[in-house]
Each structure stands twice: as C-alpha cells, then as structure tokens.
Structure 1
C-alpha cells in the first residue's frame, strides 16, 4: 500500500518554513500532496492558482510532490485522495497545542488517518505566512523568507 500524505495549509505565500517541512517529509512518504485549503471566510493575499503554480514550480523536479486545492474538511479531502496521513509543521509549543486539538478532532471523525508532526528547523521557526505578508505589504525585503518563484511574483507585482 502506498503511503500517501496530505500537507494542508493556505500557503499564502509559500515560505521557507513550508518548504523546510516538505523537503524533510518527502522521504517519509510515497506521495506528498500539498493541499491548499480554500476558506470562504478568509481573503487570501494571493490566488489559489498562484499558490498552486508556486508549489508546482518549486517542486517541478520532485515526482513525489503533488498539489491540489480543496474546500471543506481536511479528513474528507484525505479520503478523496486516499491519504492515510496528515502532515503538520510545528514551530512552537503553542503550535503543538493548537495542532493537537485539530488532530484529535480529525481522529474522532476518521481514526484511519494519522497526523504526523514535524518541527521546523530552528532557523525557520519565526517564519510565518502572516508575518511574511506584513513584510510584503509594507515593501520590505522578503528574500530571506520565501523561495525564488514567490520572490519573482512579489518583485513583478
């Protein structure tokens, strides 16, 4: 049986924090699906299409990486793509408490899907999309926070 994992998030924008977790998870699974969750209640800075394009560009040479967008419950999307695992990145203890609550809810909805937590590398522990968006909105240099495809988009905006 193939080990298929979903890494859900908004990825608005994709940061080195995200790619750090993805890069370290690749060897753990046969397929890693980057799932861009669409939340009708949130207004993202970048379109879903843009975020999908970034991930496809960043991982164009990595056949194990797939990308898709989805709406609704993450466990339902896992069933749709046959993912037995959900990957979540942890930066701080507070992240773990929040993520564990979500993992527990997901387990109560479907106990066949296991959540895997990976801590991010210390150098990326402060890189959060929310903070990166503030840097971008205020004309700051985001080059130390985002991969080249994202940087190109920002510079061309």
Structure 2
C-alpha cells in the first residue's frame, strides 16, 4: 500500500489545503492528514479542533485519515509505515524552504520521498494566516474555507 502523509498546522484548513489533499487522495492508496503539534506556535484553534475540522471536511474521502503528531515528521512516517510526504507549493517562494526540508528528510530517511504539488491557481494566494486576518475584520471567508471552518472561525472571532 502506498501511504502518503500531508502534514501541516492547518490553522485553519483552507480550500487550498483541501485541493492538495483531494488530489493526493487520487494518486495514493491512503493519505494521512497529520496536524503538527507545535507548542512554540500560537494557534487560533487547538490541535483537537483542527483535527475535528479536518475530519469533517474530508469525511467523504474514503482513503483519507486525519491524525496529529509531535516531533519529527520523519519519525511519524516510520511509525505509520508511510513512504511519501505530500507538500503543496503556492509560489516559487515556497519552493526554496520546502526543498531544504525535503533534503533534510531524505538525509534522515533515504526511503521517504517528497511529492511536491502545485496548488491550483485559484488558491495560489491563499494561506491560513490570510484567512485568519480577513476573518478578524469580520469579512467573509466563505470562498476561502469550507462552511464548517467558516462557522468555527466566526465563533472564535466573535466569542
């Protein structure tokens, strides 16, 4: 079985993330969407909330599983018997950083491959940070995130 991991903070999950997850699920037997637990990073949503939102928005995808992890991705890959890391690229500026990370992961485990996917053009500007900023001004994010995420954002921003 060809198992791929798509990791990130997903704070919150956007249509750009879903674009990569959906397309990855068509290529690989199983895609594990793994939320990174990073205590140093200030997140709007808790890890549990992010996992829950991801489960809601990927519920129709039979070969997608949602999980969380801390530590090195390469260690998580070994634990889950995964061979491929899926990384989405929005612009050339993403590539330099992602190339460094992929090279280090290859050094740590030569059996793991990184699969880069260009995001669809309509999401090339989209990031979780931009979504949070737009939502903080009470502007509509309905074209940026799935309805469940929009509702969660509104609740966070107004609560």
CA distance in 1, matches of 2:143, 2:67: 26
Shift of 1:155: 3.0
Name the structure 1 match of 2:43: 44
Does the CA contact (< 8 Å) of 2:135 and 2:154 recur in 1?
A: no
Structure 1 vs Structure 2 CA RMSD: 0.9
Across the two proteins, how many residue pairs are aligned to each other?
156
Question: Structure 2 CA distance, aligned partners of 1:112 and 1:137?
Answer: 42
Whether the aligned pair in 1 keeps the contact of 2:16 and 2:123 (CA below 8 Å) is yes
Match of 2:64 in 1: 65
Structure-to-structure mapping, 1:6-155, within 5 angstroms? 6-155=5-154
TM-score, normalized by length of structure 2? 0.95
Does 2:4 correspond to 1:5?
yes
> Which structure 2 segments of 5+ residues have no match?
none
CA distance in 1, matches of 2:142, 2:47: 21
Unaligned runs of 5+ in 1: none
Q: Secondary structure at the match of 2:68?
A: strand
* 1:36-64 deviation line (CA, Å, top 9, x unaligned): 00112101011111111111111112120
Return the alpha-carbon distance in structure 1 between the equivalents of residues 52 and 26 of structure 2: 23
Q: Deviations over 1:63-94 (max 9, x none)?
A: 20001110010000001111100000001011
Q: TM-score, normalised by structure 1?
A: 0.96
Please give the secondary structure, in 2, of the residue aligned with 1:6.
strand
Q: CA deviation at 1:104?
A: 0.1
2:36 match: secondary structure:
strand
Q: Secondary structure at the match of 1:62?
A: coil
